[in-house]
Amino acid sequence: MTVTTRFAPSPTGRLHVGNIRTALHNWMLARKAGGRFLLRIDDTDAERSREEYVDAIRADLAWLGLDPDGEERQSARLDRYETAFERLRAAGRVYRCYETAQELDLKRKVLLGRGLPPVYDRAALALTEDDHAAKATAGVAPHWRFKLDHDEPIAWDDGIRGAQKFDPAQLSDPVIRRADGSWLYMLPSAVDDLDMGVTDVLRGEDHVSNTAVQIQMFSALIAAGDGGAMPRFAHEALLVGSEGKLSKRLGSLGCDAFRERGIEPEALVALLARIGTSLPVEPIADRSVLVASVDLATFGRAPARFDEAELERINTAIVHQLDYAVVADRLPQGMDAAGWHAVQPNLATVGDAAEWWRLVTGPIAQPAFSDEDRAYLAEAARLLEWREDPWHALTAALKQATGRKGKALFLPLRQALTGMDHGPDMAELLPLIGEVEARARLERAAKG
């Protein structure tokens, strides 16, 4: 059986870092197994879904390099859900209900006040056909619930959490269809997983109780003739912020925010691939290394801590690994491979290259020099010869002529040539500045 995973976002907003992590892990599991990774747009909520978000989801996955092997949209499959619903209805597994949101909220409060779990009481099952007819005559449309089987416990071996067991009597029969005929998440998701041959469902631990309900839904659909096989399930720990608490900020961190900060997709992937696992988080730019190492057995149950400072450290290390060809179209005009190689060790982001390139193109602001240093720089301008390695030739000549060494030898030269006390290796930078401009800068600094 071909391993098939899926990422199923609702296009009601932009992807955030938690969504990205889920998508990444599903993509990695599929790639490791030589299987398929599907993108499913869960857009049954027509009121909140937006086409702009569908486009943004595709663009974000492309930026991250998470290429799906196929795409489906739930809005194109409404007839399929109708067929499955009618089969469940014929099998007696769905039933009509009429309680308002306020009535249900009151029931929950009463149960909680008695120290009982806030489970739906199945009052609608007592309604007769005459009762339903009266509701219809009054213009009251029903919403529909899936009827859980209370006879057997719901159990599965979770790929991360291990053995799981639920008493169905402690769960509410889930609403699967609204009074206006629109679908909630549960049924379409199960139908799609069966139809699309999804073998592995990996999602956040906040879906554990949903899985318990859906396992019965899968069984009912298969028994009703829908075919397919129930997937395996795994639930990963949710992300928390660096302060150790669930953070609203994590919900606002999306690809746009990362791009604006100069975060490379490779850095984000390297971090999200391994946080929350027993594997070390490292600046690994080679996706094949990350894919080969993914293993649900390494996933922990403790909350996975997302540290933005750690992401920035990884990003810096990734930037230092990037080849010129990968970044050439993002570099300032005129910067060639030699320029990239010169400034790369000083970069935190690729965008920083423009500021360092200014040291080559100018103009630069030189500091004020002492009389002694001005004389030294005048001598530097006189001794400058353009050889294969002009920097080391110049410093060797100056050391012999002036007796200077260490900081006194190098710092005034760097300040005169770049206007800074630190920066790229001068042996690489000086050839980029060029003989004419370098001599002009030395002479200008000597004159003060």
Asked if pLDDT for residue 325 goes beyond 90, the answer is yes
Nearest to 74 by CA among 11, 149, 161, 168: 11
Q: Domain boundary at 339, 360, 381, which?
A: 360
| Backbone torsions φ then ψ of 377, nearest 5 degrees | -70, -30
The per-residue pLDDT for range 157-195, each reduced to its tens digit, is 999 999 999 999 999 999 999 999 999 999 999 999 999
How far apart are the C-alpha atoms of 24 and 65, rounded to whole Å? 9
Q: Is 248 annotated as a binding residue?
A: yes
Residue 428 lies in a domain: yes
Cis amide leading into 363 (omega within 30): yes
Contact (CB, 8 A) for 219 and 22: no
> In the prediction, which pLDDT does 165 show?
97
The whole domain housing 301 covers: 241-319
Q: What is the average pLDDT value for the chain, to the nearest integer?
A: 95
- pLDDT above 90 coverage of the chain, percent: 94
Residues 367 and 356 in one domain: no
- pLDDT tier at 435 (50, 70, 90 boundaries)? very high
Among 207-221, 229-243, 322-336, 346-360, the least confident range: 229-243
126 has a pLDDT exceeding 70: yes
The token pair at 23 is 């998508």
Alpha-carbon distance 79 to 61, whole Å?
28
The predicted pLDDT at position 139 comes to: 96
pLDDT at residue 225 is higher than 90? no
Domain boundary among 319, 346, 372: 319
Q: What's the pLDDT tens digit per position in 257-271?
A: 999 999 999 999 999
pLDDT exceeds cutoff 90 at 253: no
How does pLDDT run across 8-64, given as a tens digit for each residue? 999 999 999 999 999 999 999 999 999 999 999 999 988 899 999 999 999 999 999
What's the confidence (pLDDT) of residue 387? Answer: 86
For residues 81-102, give the mean pLDDT: 97
Residue 233 CA to residue 213 CA, distance in Å, equals 13
Count of domains forming the chain = 3
Together in a domain, 367 and 443: yes
The pTM of the full predicted model, rounded to 2 decimals, is: 0.91
Inside any domain, residue 389: yes
- In terms of domains, do 342 and 367 share one? no
pLDDT at 251: 75
Confidence of residue 246 (pLDDT cuts 50, 70, 90): low
**Residue 393 is assigned to a structural domain of this protein:** yes
pLDDT at 71 over 70: yes
Confidence at 129, pLDDT banded by 50, 70, 90: very high
**Statement to judge: residues 315 and 346 lie in one domain:** no
Report yes or no on 148 lying in a domain.
Answer: no
Task: Name the pLDDT band for 92 (thresholds 50, 70, 90).
Answer: very high
Determine the length of the chain: 448
Q: Are strands 94-97 and 143-146 parallel, antiparallel or unpaired?
A: antiparallel
Q: Is residue 253 part of a domain?
A: yes
Pairing of strands 200-204, 232-236: parallel
Reported as a single tens digit per residue, the pLDDT across 373-420 is 999 999 999 999 998 999 999 999 999 999 999 999 999 999 999 999
**Pairing between β-strand 162-166 and β-strand 154-158 as defined by DSSP bridges:** antiparallel
pLDDT at 245: 66
Q: Tell me if residue 139 falls in helix, strand or coil.
A: coil
Are the C-beta atoms of residues 94 and 146 closer than 8 Å to each other?
Answer: yes
In a domain, 298, yes or no: yes
pLDDT at 390: 97
In contact, 1 and 31? CB cutoff 8 Å: no
Q: Confirm whether 314 is domain-assigned.
A: yes
Write 370-378 long-range contacts (CB < 8 A, 24+).
373/412, 374/445, 374/446, 374/447, 374/448, 375/446, 376/402, 376/404, 376/412, 377/412, 377/413, 377/416, 377/442, 377/445, 377/446, 378/442, 378/443, 378/446
Residues 377 and 310 in one domain: no
- Is residue 181 situated within a structural domain? no
Among residues 319, 347, 373, which one ends one of the domains?
Answer: 319
The half-sphere exposure of 34 on its side-chain side, counting CA atoms within 13 A, is 2
Average pLDDT, stretch 311-337?
97
> What is the per-residue pLDDT for 293?
97
CATH of the domain at 266: 1.10.1160.10
